[in-house]
């Protein structure tokens, strides 16, 4: 749960090392540590992208993330499950923007970490309401108990990516969501024809990750 907002690359983080998200949070942190240790020891080139919430077609419908959960629930006429009051914020980027950012980073000489994300911040409740509108379904929004260690704010500071990579997201949120919804709808139709209907993950976390991450 960050103490600095928005989060820039110089911020060291605020992480519970033994909480339910610890494997997810600390796994990313130790990956950076090992990359830079190997860079110093062996002189290899390293690029580190700090990726913020990303969505788009071909994401796994049952991955337990907020985008896939909300879309799947809305398309199936089920309540959209919001953990806590829904005031938690996230920043969602479309997958093509992320790919362009990764390519720009790989082709650069920037060896320090770079945030790749969309600085347009939304509450989880706003996001649920937007999904309802785009799907055009009458699903209700259901509030459940708050997940442990669920970050309350998330917004990347992308000034470094703009300055050093000439990169920033360009795909509007609604445009990206419409593409993801279209993909999910087609997948549901295909799987219904094959007698398999996926269900959103009901648990509060998956492999140490809370639902809203």
Q: How far apart are CA 198 and CA 144, in angstroms?
A: 21
Is 24 among the residues known to form the active site? yes
Q: C-alpha dihedral over 131, 137, 139, 140, to 10 degrees?
A: 70
Q: Is 201 exposed, middle or buried (0-12, 13-18, 19+ CB in 10 A)?
A: middle
Q: Are strands 89-91 and 121-123 parallel, antiparallel or unpaired?
A: antiparallel
The Cα–Cα gap between 175 and 148 comes to 32
Q: Which of 11, 24, 36, 183 is catalytic?
A: 24
Which ranges of the chain would DSSP assign to H, the alpha helix?
A: 22-42, 66-75, 95-106, 124-135, 159-165, 173-193
Cα(95)–Cα(60) distance, integer angstroms: 13
Would you name the residues annotated as active-site residues?
A: 24
């Amino acid at each position: 749960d960050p103490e600095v907002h928005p989060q820039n690359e110089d911020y060291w983080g605020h992480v519970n090392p033994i909480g339910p998200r610890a494997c997810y949070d600390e796994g990313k942190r130790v990956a950076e540590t090992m990359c830079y240790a190997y860079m110093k020891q062996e002189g290899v080139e390293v690029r580190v992208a700090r990726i913020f919430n990303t969505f788009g077609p071909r994401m796994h419908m049952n991955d337990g993330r907020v985008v896939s959960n909300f879309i799947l629930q809305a398309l199936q006429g089920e309540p959209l499950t919001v953990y806590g009051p829904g005031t938690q914020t996230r920043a969602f980027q479309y997958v093509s923007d992320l790919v362009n950012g990764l390519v720009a980073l790989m082709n650069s000489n920037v060896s320090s970490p770079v945030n790749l994300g969309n600085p347009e911040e939304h509450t989880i409740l706003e996001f649920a309401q937007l999904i309802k509108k785009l799907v055009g379904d009458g699903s209700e929004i259901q509030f459940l108990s708050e997940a442990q260690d669920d970050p309350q704010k998330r917004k990347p500071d992308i000034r470094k990516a703009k300055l050093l990579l000439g990169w920033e997201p360009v795909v509007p949120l609604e445009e990206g969501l419409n593409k993801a919804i279209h993909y999910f709808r087609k997948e549901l139709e295909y799987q219904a024809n094959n007698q398999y209907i996926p269900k959103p993950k009901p648990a509060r976390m998956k492999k140490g990750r809370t639902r809203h991450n």
